[in-house]
Homo-oligomer: A and B are copies of this chain.
């Protein structure tokens, strides 16, 4: 069994989702033990929503599921790296491929990516 350190941060571990082909970092979300087990079983990334306090299969509303190709664990067993196949080409609920579409430039944030979908059409 893979033993992760869920105790350090109130039962939650940050999980980074990275595109398995390009290496692009798509998003970061959190997993509790149940979410991790569900991800292992289903093969689709399942997180724990801190705002909704519930399991959340990524893409359950948008259809933009993340098929897990590989799972890495860090040296302290308290962070997960998922290499995923991002369906629908976009991970961010704001319509961008990656949630990290803003760059720090001269002490301000500048959007440096292009929207792939219109959130109003996907989340109705």
Contacts and interface: CB of A to CB of B under 8 A. Distances in A.
A99 B72 CA distance: 9
A81 interface: yes
Determine the interface band of chain A, counting residues with CB < 8 A from chain B: 35 or more
A28 B16 contact: yes
A55 interface: no
Interface centre among A16, A75, A94, by most chain B C-beta atoms within 10 angstroms, is: A75
Closest 4 CB pairs of A and B: A23-B23, A72-B100, A71-B104, A74-B99
Interface of A: 1-2, 8-9, 14, 16, 18, 22-25, 27-28, 40, 50, 70-76, 79, 81, 92-94, 96, 99-104, 107-109
